[in-house]
Structure formats: structure tokens, C-alpha cells
């Protein structure tokens, strides 16, 4: 925690910090938002970089279809459905009044291989690294069918190399499962928030799991240090990686194609609001970058964080980015949303995206459980606590004067970021908790 006078000075300059410290759900719309044509130049990455990532994923599709049979149906492309949520919309009361619009869910919860949004960026970065090594070693040539990478000889070659990552759980699952399948030696440094089943699952895939009693930033730092001492080890840097970011960004064009196919219009008269749960920022930041490239000013992105882990809001609002953590203003970073339990944001994402993200909201753990149970009850969909955070971003948008004009023709898309791999018993406990809170609230 910062010295008391330093906190007082911050609160004086940024009154919102007092509200954050009170742990009450709140929202903040960034007055610094700028037109996409201008602000996309802040990012340092371009549409060509995203197209390059997309083409690389297409090259790997034959390999993925072979190595992960569950991706055969999609031809080795890792993508999730986008579905309307009419019953959830009615339950949330959004259908009433003039602010109807349409509520949809992006089901990254059901992405193949690792069951979370991390199957985008995490898997992409591992594939890119593998491609580079195989090309350099002459095991792969341009134009080859990448399914040859599934051979025992190539697996033995990758076995000379290591991949390491620090994670609250889901990034570790993606990197670990993908790395191990290719043949790499994989190490995942897990923060105290990580669920036991995620560690067990990784170990069953032959991944080394190092456990920490501390939070995410410490696990990442330990992983980074370990990798530095080993020239054969590639460290996946969740706080700074451009490759992770680009892997996530591919989602933008994919969603555009899905909405085109479903007849969902997105333009100035039919704005698209996308609600993304935010941890360190790489996942939502990368997806938002792809969305801005695909839809320009017609898309408005809102990040949602736990009231106990509002790191990106704090970093962007103060302009201090990775130079401040929630712990430094006395917030504990303890939340049931394990995927969002991050106290210090990515400075790379905060700076790159600060003029492209419309707003930020925070949500309590109790509300996450209620939303999780409501989604299960109304739509039969089961997501993990982190993954339903987006729903909490909707009410602030409906109340914000700047969006009023086209709300009746708007599409609200909640990015459902994980949950399909949560063990049955654990999911049942989440739902029971949420139902109890809903029942208590109904009294
Ligand atoms: C990691 C994660 C997020 C947020 O992604 P960041 O890159 O950490 O911001 C959201 N939801 C789930 C389920 C996650 O695992």
C-alpha cells in the first residue's frame, strides 16, 4: 500500500479512486475516446498484422484438426458460436421501454481445446513460436501441409525447447495443453487464485505446474525470471506480448462474418456494444482492437472488472498504467472471478487501447454469481464467474446519455469468456450459490 499522503493526493486528483476504494460497483466512460481512424494509430500494430495472424492460424488448421479431433468439425479453426439470449434479455428487463435492442452472447466459454478466450491468444502464440523453430530447422517449408508437425520426429525436436507462462489459470491451460501436444516442455506458474482442477488437468497433460501462494503478478515475474536463465525457453509474457494480442484480435473479422451470416446489422444507426471481462487486459484489449478494425466507430467496447480487482480502470483513469496496482490503494485483489484476479494492468494494452475503449465498469462477486445462475436458468448456459462479468456493463451503457439515440436498434454482445471445462461439481456449486443469492434478493 502507498503511504497515506500519497493516497490522499491521488484521491484529491482522481475522486473516482475514493469510490474504487469503497468497493462499490461503478462505471467510468473515458472522455478521451477518439475516432477509430485516428486512435487505431496508437496501437503500434495494424490490420496487416492481424491478417498475418489469421493466415497463420489457417496454415495450422490441418495440424489442429489432426492433433485435436474436437476441432475437425470446424476444419481446425478454433472459433466459438455467437447466440442470441432472448430469455436472459427478458429476465434482465432490457426488453422494456425504449432501450430494447438485442442481447447476444459470444461463447468463448465453448472454444475447443481449452474452453476459454485464452484459446485465441495463448494457442496462437505457441503456434507462432513452433512455426518459427520448425522453419529455422528446415522441418517445415512454405506451402507444406502443417499436419506433418504431428509426427514423432517433430515432437522430439520440439522436446529440446521449453515454453513457460505465469497465469491465474486459463492462460496456463491454453499454453500448457497446446505446448505439450506439440512436444514442448511446458511450465505453468500458477497464482494462488488458480483452481485446483486446472492444475490437475495440466499435470495430466504432462505440464509442470509451479504453485505460488501469491497473486498473478508474482507468478508472472517468477516465470519470467526462470525463462531468462534458459535460452531454449520461450516465455509467454501476458503483460506485454504482441503475439497474444494479435491472436485475440483475429476474433474481430470472425465476428463480423458471423453477424453478416446471421443478418445482424452493425453501422452508425445500429451500434454494437461489446462487454468484455478484463484481467490483465490482453484478451479484451486484443479482441477490442480486432473489433475496432472490423467495425470502426460503430462498435463500442466496455471492459468489466471485479470491484476487488479494477486494475485496468485504475491504470487508464490515472494514466499511471502498470505504474500502479490496486493493492497500492488498499484493494485486496481477492475475487471469485479467478480469471480476472489481476492487481496490476498491462501497460502495453492500457496505452495502446486507451482512446479506443469507451468505458469501464466494476462488478461484485455476488452479482457475478447471480448473473451466472440467471444465465443458467434462462438459457441453460453454464459459464464460470469471470465469464459473465460483461453483463454488468449493460446498465451503465443504457443509462449513459451519449448512447441514447440508437439504443432501440443496438446490439449488445456479452463476451462469455470461459466455463465449458469447469468440472460438473464445481459448476453445480457456482449455480447453487447464485440461485441462493437470487432467492435472497427476491425477498
Ligand atoms: C483471462 C480471462 C479473462 C481476461 O483476459 P485478460 O487477458 O487477463 O484481461 C476473462 N475471462 C476469463 C474466463 C479469463 O480466463
Same domain membership, residue 308 and residue 183: no
- Same domain for 44 and 156? no
376: burial class by Cβ within 10 Å (0-12, 13-18, 19+)? buried
Would you say 200 and 225 are in contact if contact means Cβ atoms under 8 Å apart? Answer: no
- Binned at pLDDT 50, 70 and 90, residue 94 comes out as low
Instruction: Report residue 262's pLDDT band, with 50, 70 and 90 as the boundaries.
Output: very high
- For the residues 108-131, what does the mean pLDDT come to? 97
Pick the atom of ligand 1 nearest to 278's CA.
9
Averaged over 343-347, what is the pLDDT? 97
Say whether pLDDT at 99 is over 70: no
Backbone φ, ψ for residue 272 (5° rounding) = -115, 125
Kindly state whether residues 287 and 428 are assigned to the same domain: yes
Instruction: With residue 301 as reference, give the H or E element that holds it.
Output: strand 299-306
Compute the distance from residue 339 Cα to the ligand 1 centre, in Å.
5
C-alpha 57 to ligand 1 mean position (Å): 21
pLDDT at 93: 83
pLDDT digits (tens, 9 = 90+) for 358-387: 999 999 999 999 999 999 999 999 999 999
* 339 pLDDT higher than 70: yes
- Whose CA is closest to 215, among 306, 90, 349? 306
Task: Report the CATH number that the domain containing residue 154 is assigned in CATH.
Answer: 3.40.50.1100
* Residue 102 pLDDT exceeds 80: yes
> What is the rounded CA–CA span in Å between residue 223 and residue 391?
33
Q: Where among 239, 258, 291 does a domain terminate?
A: 239
Comparing CA positions, the residue from 228, 129, 234 lying closest to residue 186 is 234
pLDDT at 8: 97
What is the average pLDDT across 69-86? 96
Residue 284 CA to residue 316 CA, distance in Å, equals 14
Which of 206, 239, 272 is the C-terminal boundary of a domain?
A: 239
Cα 336 to Cα 306: distance, rounded to the nearest angstrom: 9
- Indicate the residue among 191, 212, 239 that finishes a domain: 239
Label residue 186 exposed, middle or buried (CB < 10 Å: 0-12, 13-18, 19+): buried
307 and 387 housed in the same domain? yes
320 and 304 part of one domain? yes
> Which pLDDT tens digit goes with each residue over 211-258?
998 888 888 898 899 899 899 999 999 999 999 999 999 999 999 999
Please state the rounded mean pLDDT for residues 89-109: 80
Print the domain residue range for 298: 4-114+245-442
Residues 145 and 88 in one domain: no
- Whether 106 and 163 map to the same domain: the answer is no
Helix axes 251-262, 242-249, angle to 10 degrees: 10
Measured distance CA(280)–CA(64) in Å, rounded: 27
User: Which residues lie with the beta carbon below 6 Å from any ligand 1 atom?
Assistant: 116-118, 170-171, 277-284, 339-340, 342, 384, 386-387, 417-418
Residue nearest ligand 1's atom 8 by CA: 279
Q: Which atom of ligand 1 is nearest to the CA of 277?
A: 10
Average pLDDT over all residues of the chain: 95
**Residue having the nearest C-alpha atom to atom 15 of ligand 1:** 339
Q: Give the tens place of pLDDT for each residue, 165-224.
A: 998 889 999 999 999 999 999 999 998 888 899 999 999 999 999 999 888 888 889 889
| pTM beyond 0.95, yes or no | yes
pLDDT band at 96 (very low <50, low <70, confident <90, very high): low
Average pLDDT over residues 310-331: 98
Task: Compute the distance between CA of residue 82 and CA of residue 378 in angstroms, rounded to an integer.
Answer: 17
Give me the pLDDT at residue 185, please: 97
Looking at the fold, whether 276 and 400 belong to one and the same domain comes out as: yes
pLDDT on residue 98:
40
| Together in a domain, 331 and 384 | yes
Judgement on whether residues 276 and 389 belong to the same structural domain of the protein: yes
What pLDDT sits at residue 296? 98
* Count of residues making up the chain: 443
* pLDDT on residue 193: 80
In this prediction, residues 311-326 reach a mean pLDDT of: 98
Which of 238, 340, 430 is the pocket-test mutation for ligand 1 (most atoms within 8 Å of CB)? 340
CA dihedral sign, ordered 116, 216, 291, 83: positive
For residues 266 and 293, membership in a common domain is answered with yes
Centre of ligand 1 to C-alpha 98, Å, is 32
Residue 269 has pLDDT above 60, yes or no: yes
Q: Is the pLDDT of residue 410 over 70?
A: yes
Report how far ligand 1's centroid is from the alpha carbon of 217 (Å): 14
Of the candidate ranges 65-69, 290-294, 301-305, 405-409, the one whose mean pLDDT is the lowest: 405-409
Q: Ligand 1 centre and the CA of 349: distance in Å?
A: 13
Percent of the chain clearing pLDDT 70 (strictly above): 98
- Average pLDDT of the residues in 86-106: 80
In the numeric block, the cell 481446425 is attached to 76
The total of structural domains in the chain comes to: 2
- Alpha helices (H) in 142-263, listed in sequence order: 152-158, 170-182, 196-204, 216-228, 242-249, 251-262
Mutating to test ligand 1, I would choose from 237, 279, 384 the residue with most ligand atoms within 8 A of its C-beta, which is: 279
pLDDT at 442 over 70: no
| Residue 80 clears pLDDT 50, i.e. is over it | yes
Ligand 1, atom 2, residue with closest C-alpha:
339
- How confident is the model over 261-289, as a mean pLDDT? 97
Instruction: Give me the residues paired with residue 299 across strands.
Output: 272
Predicted local confidence at residue 194, as pLDDT: 85
Which grid coordinates belong to 115?
Answer: 474452453
Instruction: Supply the pLDDT for residue 47.
Output: 98
Please give the backbone phi and psi of residue 186, each rounded to the nearest 5 degrees, phi first: -115, 135
Residues 335 and 379 in one domain: yes
Amino acid at each position: 500500500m502507498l503511504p497515506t499522503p500519497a493516497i490522499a493526493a491521488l484521491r484529491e486528483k482522481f475522486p473516482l479512486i475514493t469510490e474504487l476504494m469503497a468497493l462499490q460497483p461503478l462505471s467510468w466512460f473515458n472522455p478521451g475516446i477518439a475516432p477509430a481512424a485516428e486512435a487505431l494509430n496508437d496501437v503500434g500494430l495494424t490490420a496487416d498484422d492481424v491478417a498475418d495472424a489469421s493466415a497463420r492460424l489457417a496454415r495450422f488448421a490441418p495440424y489442429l484438426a489432426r492433433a485435436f479431433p474436437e476441432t475437425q468439425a470446424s476444419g481446425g479453426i478454433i472459433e466459438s458460436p455467437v447466440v442470441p439470449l432472448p430469455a436472459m434479455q427478458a429476465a434482465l428487463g432490457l426488453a422494456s421501454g425504449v432501450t430494447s435492442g438485442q442481447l447476444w452472447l459470444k461463447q468463448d466459454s465453448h472454444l475447443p481445446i481449452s474452453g476459454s478466450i485464452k484459446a485465441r491468444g495463448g494457442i496462437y502464440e505457441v503456434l507462432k513460436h513452433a512455426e518459427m523453430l520448425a522453419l529455422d530447422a528446415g522441418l517445415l517449408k512454405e506451402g507444406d501441409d502443417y499436419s506433418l508437425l504431428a509426427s514423432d520426429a517433430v515432437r522430439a525436436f520440439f522436446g529440446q525447447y521449453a515454453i513457460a507462462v505465469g497465469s491465474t489459470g486459463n492462460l496456463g491451460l491454453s499454453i500448457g495443453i497446446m505446448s505439450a501436444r506439440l512436444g514442448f516442455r511446458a511450465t505453468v506458474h500458477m497464482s494462488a487464485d488458480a483452481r485446483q482442477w486446472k492444475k490437475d488437468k495440466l499435470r495430466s497433460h504432462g505440464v509442470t505446474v509451479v504453485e505460488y501462494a501469491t497473486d498473478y503478478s508474482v507468478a508472472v515475474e517468477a516465470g519470467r525470471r526462470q525463462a531468462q536463465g534458459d535460452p531454449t525457453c520461450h516465455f509467454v509474457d501476458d503483460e506485454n506480448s504482441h503475439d497474444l494480442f494479435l491472436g485475440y484480435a483475429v476474433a474481430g473479422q470472425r465476428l463480423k462474418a458471423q453477424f453478416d451470416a446471421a443478418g445482424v446489422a452493425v453501422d452508425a444507426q445500429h451500434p454494437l456494444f461489446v462487454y468484455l471481462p478484463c484481467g490483465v487486459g490482453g484478451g479484451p484489449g486484443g479482441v477490442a482492437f480486432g473489433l475496432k478494425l472490423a467495425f470502426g466507430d460503430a462498435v463500442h467496447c466496455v471492459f468489466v472488472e471485479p470491484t476487488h480487482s479494477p486494475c485496468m480502470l485504475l491504470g487508464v483513469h490515472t494514466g499511471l498504467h502498470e505504474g500502479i496496482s490496486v493493492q497500492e490503494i488498499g484493494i485486496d485483489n481477492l475475487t471469485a472471478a479467478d480469471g480476472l484476479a489481476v492487481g496490476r494492468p498491462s501497460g502495453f494494452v492500457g496505452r495502446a487501447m486507451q482512446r479506443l475503449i469507451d468505458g469501464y465498469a466494476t462488478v461484485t462477486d455476488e452479482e457475478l454469481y447471480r448473473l451466472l445462475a440467471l444465465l443458467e436458468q434462462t438459457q441453460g448456459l453454464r459459464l464460470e464467474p469471470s465469464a459473465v462479468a460483461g453483463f454488468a456493463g449493460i446498465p451503465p451503457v443504457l443509462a449513459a446519455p451519449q448512447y441514447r439515440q440508437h439504443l432501440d436498434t443496438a446490439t449488445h454482445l456479452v463476451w462469455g469468456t470461459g466455463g465449458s471445462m469447469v468440472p460438473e461439481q464445481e459448476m453445480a456449486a457456482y449455480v447453487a450459490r447464485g440461485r441462493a443469492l437470487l432467492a435472497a434478493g427476491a425477498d
